[in-house]
Structure 1
Amino acid sequence: MNKQNKNICIHVCDDNPVVIEKAIKITKDLLNDERLAAEIVAYEDGNQFTERYKERKDELLILDIDMPGKSGLDILKEFEIHCKNNRVILLTAYDNLALQSLMYGPFQIVRKDLMEIDLEKAIRRFLRIRNDQNAQLKIKEDGIQRVVDIKDIFYIEKRRNYSYIYLKDHRCVKVRKNLRDYEFELAGKGLVRVHAGYMVAMKYCAKIEKG
């Protein structure tokens, strides 16, 4: 796993102090194993979370789905409106609440009786996707070495011996490199080859059809 220089902030919210302690220990052990620095902030319930929470650009939230006052499901609904639901892991002891939460698209749901195994897996998966989103592509343009954020690539077009990299800020970078090389280099990083002459970022695709 590629290491990130910037620290991630991990918010843990549960009305049961035993669960908070367990979630923090699992998180710290994983971070130590990956040699990653992080800020961990704990909240005793959903109301305290609402009062103290400050959004970070790079963050993960681990929330109890069922708490007195404001629940983790309530918080998830608010995050879904602002397209931030993919940074939320929900903890639950109730299958019916887990089913209710699915329509709001949490990153993952973890049963409390399986926390030791499944919470670690969920956090590792989140960090792996985070790394891919923060990954960069080294390119050589007009003899000058440059770096492009992979998440900013809209699509790549093949023209003869060149690849044209189109970025979301409407810039186009011309590189003397085969599209097949990029297909291997960008495997698993959100871009797929949809045609002999094109690679496209999947997040911008509504539908792909054979033609």
Structure 2
Amino acid sequence: MMKILIADDEPLARERLQALINELGIGEVVAEAANGKDTLELVRVYEPDVLLLDIRMPGIDGMKVIQQLALIESTPAVIFCTAYSDHALEAFEHQALDYLLKPIRKERLEQALKRTYNLKQPQSAPISPSPRARTQISYYQRGELCLVPVNQIYYFYANDKYVMMCCKEEEVLISETLKDLEKEFAGQFLRIHRSTLVAITQITGLKKNAIGITKRYYILLKEVEKPLEVSRRHLKTVKQLLKDMRL
């Protein structure tokens, strides 16, 4: 059973989370903290699997807590439980697993805890992203926070100073850089151009288009009708990947 630490300066909020966890029967609350300093100390003592973390707390706030957790060897999965929606992007940048808004709904808490449980189970032949790669990318649409699973993203491309995320039937603007995405999702996404990263699982082949003496190469993707151009600089890497994939 998962060990859970609750960190919130409001006693009623801690009681609410404790009651929901008892109802769900997914994990066991091993300790509670009312401020950031105690939270960090209790993480070291109990080594919880999950930290349910508020943002506004006395002294060290939730954002500083998650940053300092990176210095601890046994780091719990962090699920923010807060009344403030404006810190969501920052939370996911610091590798938060989920971001729940108060009042916490039982179904959302269950979903977040089950995801944590599944991530902690042994995986056979895993794909090799960076150790703390996110499973979802967040963006805002009409003032609402939206999440897209990484395995549903086809490609990213840079448009001037902005980065667009392309998934099923939509393209959305995200607050990310291609450089950071490439580093975080190495093994899942491949750079084919200085402005494009594609999902490796989407690749089906490489097409050559010759116009006179000029040759251009394009990646073909399963769910994307338009081929994406491969730059000369990245062509060798793309060809080697396709060879390894036997495409």
Please classify the TM superposition score into its range, dividing by the shorter chain length: 0.5 to 0.7
- Whether contact under 8 Å (2:54, 2:81) holds in the other structure is yes
Aligned amino acid, residue 61 of structure 1: L
CA distance in 2, matches of 1:46, 1:27: 22
Pairs within 5 Å for 1:99-110: 99-110=89-100
Structure with bigger RCO (C-alpha 8 Å, 6+ apart)? 1
Residue equivalent to 2:167: none
CA distance in 1, matches of 2:74, 2:23: 26
2:195 maps to 1:205: no
Unaligned segments of structure 1, at least 5 residues:
1-6, 136-149, 156-189, 191-202
Higher helix residue share: 1
How far did 1:19 drift?
A: 0.4
Residue equivalent to 2:238: none
Provide the alpha-carbon RMSD of the alignment.
Answer: 3.1
Unaligned segments of structure 2, at least 5 residues:
128-150, 152-184, 191-199, 206-241, 243-247
Aligned amino acid, residue 115 of structure 1: R
Aligned amino acid, residue 27 of structure 1: I
Residue equivalent to 2:122: 134
1:6-56 Cα shifts (integer Å, max 9, x gaps): x4211100000000001111112112xx5x6x3521112212223333266
What is the SS of the residue equivalent to 2:80?
strand
Of 101, 106, 115, the residue aligned with 2:105 is 115
CA distance in 1, matches of 2:42, 2:55: 18
Higher strand residue share: 2
The runs of at least 4 consecutive aligned structure 1 residues that moved more than 4 Å come to 55-58, 80-86
Q: Percent identity?
A: 22
How far did 1:116 drift?
A: 3.1
What is the SS of the residue equivalent to 1:41?
strand
- Whether contact under 8 Å (1:86, 1:106) holds in the other structure is no
Of 61, 64, 70, the residue aligned with 2:54 is 64
Aligned amino acid, residue 99 of structure 2: I
Aligned amino acid, residue 53 of structure 1: V
The size of the alignment, in residue pairs, is 137
